[in-house]
Structure 1
Amino acid sequence: MQTGWVKTGGSWYYLNETGSLATGWVKDNGTWYYLKDSGKMATGWVKDNDTWYYLDSAGTMKTGWFTVSGKWYYAYSSGALAVNTTTPDGYTVNANGEWV
């Protein structure tokens, strides 16, 4: 039975321990990934339970400071985007999570 990452049609999918297509959050080798309802690995912005997350081009969930299109954002260790707050290191982010 095959498990783990599979690339099909240019997209990545993850087969869980039963060989079924995984959806939602998957932690693999200490790194979090998000798989859409179709099972396809997500990249870019993902909203899950009213919380925004950012996944880089390799599907890796970002934490700490990162840039997207020239704007700086901060994500907590959970991956949740900081919005309308002051980050742990003292910077202000707006309602979109952008450093201001």
Structure 2
Amino acid sequence: MATGWVKDKGLWYYLNESGSMATGWVKDKGLWYYLNESGSMATGWVKDKGLWYYLNESGSMATGWVKDKGLWYYLNESGSMATGWFTVSGKWYYTYNSGDLLVNTTTPDGYRVNANGEWVG
């Protein structure tokens, strides 16, 4: 019985220990993957239970900073996209509700952020 990753017609699927096709979140070798309702491995942005996640081209869930289509996003340790104010390495950043980082501007609550998106006052 086949288990683990299987490629079919250019798409990846994960077969669990019983040999049935998995859907939703799967952890394999320490990395998280998201499998669509059809069972195929997702890449790019995925919304699950109201939170956004980014899955790399390999399908693994990203954490930390991600640049997509010229915009920066921050993904928490849990993989979910940060919105509003958050800190990384002691520096404050602000993102729109869409998750993209504000740079060289004033936040909606009146604070300045620099070219790196860091709060400067």
2:48 equivalent to 1:31: no
Counterpart residue identity of residue 55, structure 2: L
Which contiguous aligned blocks of 4+ residues in structure 1 show a shift greater than 3 angstroms? none
2:107 equivalent to 1:87: yes
Counterpart residue identity of residue 72, structure 1: W
- In the TM superposition, what is the alpha-carbon distance from 1:18 to its structure 2 partner? 1.2
Q: Describe the SS at the equivalent of 1:57.
A: coil
Count of residue pairs the alignment pairs up: 100
Report the TM-score when normalising by structure 2. Answer: 0.82
2:56 equivalent to 1:56: no
Gaps of at least 5 residues in structure 2 are 1-20
Mapped to 2, the partners of 1:20 and 1:62 lie a distance apart of 26
- In the TM superposition, what is the alpha-carbon distance from 1:17 to its structure 2 partner? 1.5
Q: Describe the SS at the equivalent of 1:12.
A: strand
Which of 11, 20, 23 aligns to 1:3? It is 23
Mapped to 1, the partners of 2:41 and 2:55 lie a distance apart of 9
2:42 equivalent to 1:22: yes
Counterpart residue identity of residue 60, structure 1: S
Mapped to 1, the partners of 2:51 and 2:34 lie a distance apart of 13
Larger radius of gyration: 2
- In the TM superposition, what is the alpha-carbon distance from 1:2 to its structure 2 partner? 1.9
Counterpart residue identity of residue 108, structure 2: P
Post-superposition CA distance 1:6-63 (Å, at most 9, x none): 0000000000111111000000000000000000000000000000000010001000
Gaps of at least 5 residues in structure 1 are none
- In the TM superposition, what is the alpha-carbon distance from 1:67 to its structure 2 partner? 0.2
